[in-house]
Amino acid sequence: MVCRPGFENDPNEIMRHSAAHIMADAVQRLFPSAKITIGPTIDNGFYYDFDYPAGFSTEDLKKIEKKMAEIVAEDHEFKREDISKEDAIKLFTDKGETFKVQIIKDLGDVSLSLYRHGNFVDLCKGPHVKRTKDLKAFKLLKVAGAYWRGDEKNPMLQRIYGTAFAKQSDLDNYLKQLEEAEKRDHRRLGKDLDLFSTMEDYGPGLILWHPKGSRLRKAIEDFWRDQHVKGGYELVYTPHIARLDLWKQSGHWDFYRENMYTPMDVDGLEYELKPMNCPFHIQIMNRKQFSYRELPVRLAELGTVYRYERSGVLHGLMRVRGFTQDDAHIFCRPDQLETEIKTVLEFVKFMLGSFGFKEFQVYLSTRPEKFVGSESDWETATNALKDALESTHTAYEVDAGEGVFYGPKIDIKITDVLGRAWQCSTIQVDFNLPVRYNMEYIGSDGAKHRPIMVHRALLGSIERFVGVLIEHYAGAFPTWLAPVQVQMIPIGESEIPMAESLATEWRLAGLRVDVDGRNEKLGLKIREAQLAKIPYMIIIGAKEREAGRVAVRSRQAGDLGQMTASEFLKKISDEIHVKQ
């Protein structure tokens, strides 16, 4: 165990690292047969995996937390000891810690260290707080299953999650944030609002979009397509499968096979579900010889791809096996690269801003140890990314050595209303695929030249982006995105014809309108529309029918009084136009 690189001086990180040790000590005091494995820190917390087949209950977590408090009060010193690999193996073998022994044996020829507090000892590099009493504020959160080393063929372990902070007030604020996040959980809201479901019995990680969820998705995709056409992109559609040879030529079969599915036999040939759209876009480009005057070419697709994810990591819309990638590829000359990247950056900000995201974390990832292409190409591409970031006044951090093997990249994370960061947009320069597929264009000198390929996604996975939107807005989407923008509520049977007529008229004007013509009380209909988080309710009673007007009720502002149908149509249309 070790604090994550770059966090060694973070007091909260050190607290969490120490809390993991104290939790493991508490577990073994209460459940002596439990074997320890690994216990790293993670964002805002920590976890520790235990081999304990009986499993831990919610009541057990309370007991463990109480025992942790006792260990803290005992005020043990955290002591570091350097140890040889052989002695470490003997120590943990004698203790019966078979998982620790396996970890040590797999480490190779390295120097090792231990940390002790009281009678507990763990393999660890540190750092820790000085004494157990220095652990100020902690909380155990939940228990989950986790396979040893993430392999389903290995034993199932018990993973206990917790968090710790240097200040009690910080812990209290974090727990409130978790409570709010639970209320906004997209899986619960997706069910409550009837947006989507998953096929646990027939295909985990595959999404069924319900009518209302499909309306939401269509609103996103229609906006996406319209803006791409305005931005000079050509929309394309590509197949869901191709012969395995395509993925061998692209390198995916060699470098990405663990995330791909078993090939299927079609007429004696091997076909593969596509994990990426890029090889198809290259095939479209290679259909003809392009001139330098025709570049850049921008191809965009909402392409559904399929990637293998272990069942244990599947998570609603956030982690799935089949998803639609907000994908595009730009093929350009070297002298066009910086301008194209700058344009994409501005496009990213516009698109994400339109969905209500204004705060971004931006990272420039540079050349890793293993890479393809020349160092001069990498320098040119990295400088183009850097210059584009600076010319658009985009604050960023350098993530040294974290570029992909085929080129440097920019990654952009959005911050939601709870302050959580979500990876969405990426801009990647690729030297690899143009070579693998022998891409060429005719330059101004009449000779053949290699284009530069830029991979870019603005929203990322549509599924994941919808999940983020659900949690960001707690399901109360702005009017332009709401699956149902207007709920017509006729009070009596005599008002249904007027409600249906207006609904038809407004649908033709582009609104998403439903009519609640059930024989139920008005209060019930209003409550259910509020629970469905519908932006506007149009209530039509005898007075409204006779006056030719409608009573408008807003989700946010409450009763807005009566107005004509045309007045309301203008009001809501203006609101949609400005993306509210």
pLDDT in tens, the chain (580 residues): 544 445 556 888 999 999 999 999 999 999 999 999 998 999 889 999 999 999 999 999 999 999 999 999 999 999 999 999 999 999 999 999 999 999 999 887 778 999 999 999 999 988 999 999 999 899 999 999 988 987 778 999 999 999 999 999 999 999 999 999 999 999 999 999 999 999 988 999 999 999 999 999 999 999 999 999 999 999 999 999 999 999 999 988 988 899 999 999 999 999 999 999 999 999 999 999 999 999 999 999 999 999 999 887 889 999 999 999 999 999 999 999 999 999 999 999 999 999 999 999 999 999 998 887 888 888 988 998 999 999 999 999 999 998 888 889 999 999 998 888 999 999 999 988 999 999 999 999 999 999 999 999 999 999 999 999 999 999 999 999 999 999 999 999 999 999 999 999 999 999 999 999 999 999 999 999 999 999 999 999 999 999 999 999 999 999 999 999 999 999 999 999 998 6
Residues 462 and 494 both lie in one domain: no
Active site residue 430: no
Active site residue 329: yes
Tell me whether residue 267 is in a domain.
Answer: no
- Mark 231-243 as b/e (b = at least 16 C-beta within 10 Å): bebeebebeeebe
Residues 92 and 209 both lie in one domain: no
- Which residue in 25, 76, 159, 325 is the catalytic one? 325
- Which residue in 49, 122, 326, 327 is the catalytic one? 327
Active site residue 278: yes
| CATH code at position 123 | 3.30.980.10
Residue 157 buriedness (CB in 10 A; 0-12 / 13-18 / 19+): buried
Residues 220 and 139 both lie in one domain: no
Residues 545 and 425 both lie in one domain: no
Token digits for 575?
């609101």
Residues 535 and 460 both lie in one domain: no
Residues 22 and 116 both lie in one domain: yes
- Which residue in 35, 212, 329, 349 is the catalytic one? 329
3-state secondary structure 22-48: HHHHHHHHHCCCCEECCCCEECCEEEE
Per DSSP, what are the bridge partners of residue 304?
A: 324
Task: Tell me the DSSP string of 527-563.
Answer: HHHHHTT-SEEEEE-HHHHHHT-EEEEETTTEEEEEE
CB count in 10 Å sphere of residue 450: 15
What are the CA-CA distances from residue 26 to residues 48, 70, 75, 119, 202 (Å)? 12, 9, 14, 11, 41
- Which residue in 117, 321, 349, 409 is the catalytic one? 409
Tell me whether residue 248 is in a domain.
Answer: no
- Which residue in 3, 124, 278, 424 is the catalytic one? 278
> Quick one: DSSP state of residue 233?
P
Q: Strand ranges (DSSP E) for 491-530?
A: 513-515
* Residues 378 and 408: beta-carbon distance below 8 Å: yes
Active site residue 325: yes
**Of 140, 161, 180, which marks where a domain is finished?**
180
Active site residue 21: no
- Which residue in 67, 212, 274, 307 is the catalytic one? 307
The Cα diameter of the chain in Å comes to 92
Tell me whether residue 549 is in a domain.
Answer: yes
Per DSSP, what are the bridge partners of residue 453?
A: 331, 430
- Which residue in 117, 455, 525, 533 is the catalytic one? 455
* Residues 302 and 224: beta-carbon distance below 8 Å: yes
Work out how many domains the chain is built from and give that number: 3
* Residues 254 and 405: beta-carbon distance below 8 Å: no
CA dihedral (46, 51, 55, 59) positive or negative? negative
Tell me whether residue 122 is in a domain.
Answer: yes
Token digits for 492?
């009596």
Instruction: Write out the residue range of the structural domain in which residue 203 sits.
Output: 191-238+277-473
Active site residue 315: no
Active site residue 307: yes
